[in-house]
Amino acid sequence: MTVLVDTSAWSALLRRRSPDSRTAPAVSELVSAGSAAIIGPIRQEILTGIRSREQFDALVRILRAFPDLGLAPEDFECAAEFSNLCRASGIQGGPTDFLICAVASRHDIPILTTDEDFSRYAKLLPVRLWPVA
C-alpha cells in the first residue's frame, strides 16, 4: 500500500542528527517496502532551510529515488475546499497541509505524519492517517 509521507515524518528520518525513535522506523519500513510517496511541495519543504550545500545535494539525491505523485488542478481546488471546511469549523491549517490532504484523498492513501494538525483535519476530511508505532 502506498502511503503519502509528510515533511515532518521525512525530517524525522533525514534531517535530524539522531532519527526520531518512533517515526524514523515507520518511514524506513515504508521506504524498504517501496510504499513511501511524496509530492513536490513536501520535497520543497524538506529541502528548504538546508545551510550546507553538501547536505542539500545529499538530500536531493536521496529524495530523487521517490517519484512525485502527480498534482492535478482538482487537487488545488479540493485543498481550498478542505481549507474552507476546516476554517468554518475553527480549524486552521496551511495550504500545503490541505494540498497533502487533497492528494491523499484523491489517491485514497493514508498520510504518515507527526504533525498533530492532521489529527484535527482527519476529524472533518476524508483522509486517513498511517499509525506510528
Residues 6+ apart with CB under 8 A from 11: 46
CA distance between the termini of the chain: 17
**Contact indicator for 95, 63 with CB cutoff of 8 Å:** no
pLDDT tens, position by position, 40-74: 999 999 999 999 999 999 999 999 999 899 999 99
In the structure, what pLDDT confidence band is assigned to residue 129 with cuts at 50, 70 and 90?
very high
Whether the CB-CB separation of 128 and 22 falls below 8 Å is answered with no
Q: What are phi and psi of 4, to 5 degrees?
A: -80, 115
Q: What pLDDT was estimated at residue 38?
A: 97
Can you list the domains of the chain with their CATH numbers?
1-133 (3.40.50.1010)
Tens-place pLDDT, residues 7-48: 999 988 886 666 667 788 899 999 999 999 999 999 999 999
Report the candidate in 98, 86, 114 with the shortest Cα–Cα distance to residue 25.
114
State yes or no: pLDDT of 84 exceeds 90. Answer: yes
Which residues, listed in sequence order, are joined to residue 5 by a DSSP beta bridge?
112
pTM to 2 decimal places: 0.93
